[in-house]
Structure 1
Amino acid sequence: MKNIVTTLVLLISFTAFSQFNYKVSKENLFGKYNPTAPKQLLDYQDLIGENKCTSISRNPDRTWAKPVHMKWVWKYIMNGMGVQDETLKMDGTHSGSIRQYDKDSLRWNVHYYTSRATVKQLPVWHGNKKDGKIVLYKEQPASNGMKGFYRLTFYDITKRKFKWIGEWVDEKETIAFPTWKIECEKIKN
């Protein structure tokens, strides 16, 4: 009887712990993609890890500010069913996003947060990967009231580097005004 109980406890423990094979761990510092998750999670596979980056954004007078060095860490979360990123900037501003692929709407939902402000509802960008670029949009009028979007684009993505640009675009995307650029290099997988 004692052997049966011991075997049963070990079997239940093994089964319970083996259900979380894709979470962040000592063996998988940035988690792993869960094969039962939407395949679109692999859109971010080359970004997963720790990256050293240079960020440059516009000043209020529309000139480019001095570059800010930052670390951008990407990992699989929710047992490999989502992606999270976190930025740690040398200027003390930190931010991140939770990324989930919606199988019903067939698009990414990206929820953004920052240490600059606490908001009641996180802003959300939507988009997809196309032609090697991940492009996300959020409705946002221009400062003059013109309808448009704030567009985020990840591009030149390889296993060792990537670039990112944030820009305001009009509804037809014939006008684009870049406001933020980031270039990154992988330092840890």
Structure 2
Amino acid sequence: MKQTLSVIILLSSISFFGQFNFDTSKEYPFGKMNPKAAKEIQDYKQLIGECSCTSESRKPDGSWAKPVKMIWRWKYIMNGKAVQDETLKEDGNHSGSIRQYDSIKKQWNVHYYSSSKLSQTLSVWNGNKNKKGNIVLYKNHKAPNGTDGFFRLTFYDITKNGYKWIGEWTDLNEKIVYPTWKIECKRE
């Protein structure tokens, strides 16, 4: 009886741990895509890994602040069914996102968090990869003067060597565009 119970426990643990074949490991430090995940998980395929980046944001007077060096690290999480990224900035302000694809709404839901602005609830951006190969995400956001609009995030010029990112306020028709943050990354 004792031997049978040991075999059952061993088989159960093998089965349980086999569920995590796509998680980070020594062999795959950034995890792997799960073939059972939504095919859109491949939208982030070229970003997975680590890049050295330069981040620039606007100062209150509208001029661009001095560039800040950072590392942007991407990995598969939830056993290869979602993506997580984190930024480690030279100035000590770090941030990250959890990215899940909603197969019903056909869009990415991106939950953002930051070490500089702790929040009870996470900000959420939604969007997709467009025909140009850019990943474009939106969040409703009023301009300082109260005009309705979006804060738009765009990953573009995505290659195996790196990518660029820009954060912009746009009006609802996306005719008025005001960039507030830009990042350029090169693959490690």
2:140 matches 1:139? yes
**Aligned partner letter, 1:79:** N
2:125 corresponds to: 125
1:120 to partner: Cα distance: 1.3
1:108-161 deviation line (CA, Å, top 9, x unaligned): 000000011111111100000012000000000111111100000000001111
1:13 to partner: Cα distance: 3.2
Q: For residues 20 and 89 of structure 2, what CA distance do their matches in structure 1 show?
A: 31
Q: For residues 7 and 121 of structure 1, what CA distance do their matches in structure 2 show?
A: 45
Q: For residues 120 and 16 of structure 1, what CA distance do their matches in structure 2 show?
A: 33
Q: For residues 184 and 36 of structure 2, what CA distance do their matches in structure 1 show?
A: 32
1:19 to partner: Cα distance: 1.4
What is the 5 A alignment of 1:63-74?
63-74=63-74
2:98 matches 1:98? yes
2:154 matches 1:153? yes
- SS state at 2:46 partner: coil
So what's the TM-score if we normalise by structure 1? Answer: 0.94
Q: How many residues align?
A: 187
1:14 to partner: Cα distance: 2.6
The answer to which of 15-24 and 81-90 deviates more is: 15-24
What is the 5 A alignment of 1:47-126?
47-126=47-126
**Aligned partner letter, 1:133:** N
- SS state at 2:41 partner: helix
Q: For residues 17 and 122 of structure 2, what CA distance do their matches in structure 1 show?
A: 32
- SS state at 2:20 partner: coil
Q: For residues 8 and 143 of structure 1, what CA distance do their matches in structure 2 show?
A: 63
Structure 2 portions without partners, runs of 5+: none
- SS state at 1:45 partner: helix
1:173 corresponds to: 174
- SS state at 2:92 partner: coil
2:18 corresponds to: 18
1:72-94 deviation line (CA, Å, top 9, x unaligned): 00000010111000000001100
- SS state at 2:159 partner: coil
- SS state at 1:157 partner: strand
Q: For residues 159 and 9 of structure 2, what CA distance do their matches in structure 1 show?
A: 45
Q: For residues 36 and 184 of structure 2, what CA distance do their matches in structure 1 show?
A: 32
Identity of aligned residues (%): 60
Q: For residues 9 and 121 of structure 1, what CA distance do their matches in structure 2 show?
A: 40
Q: For residues 6 and 89 of structure 2, what CA distance do their matches in structure 1 show?
A: 51
1:2 to partner: Cα distance: 7.8
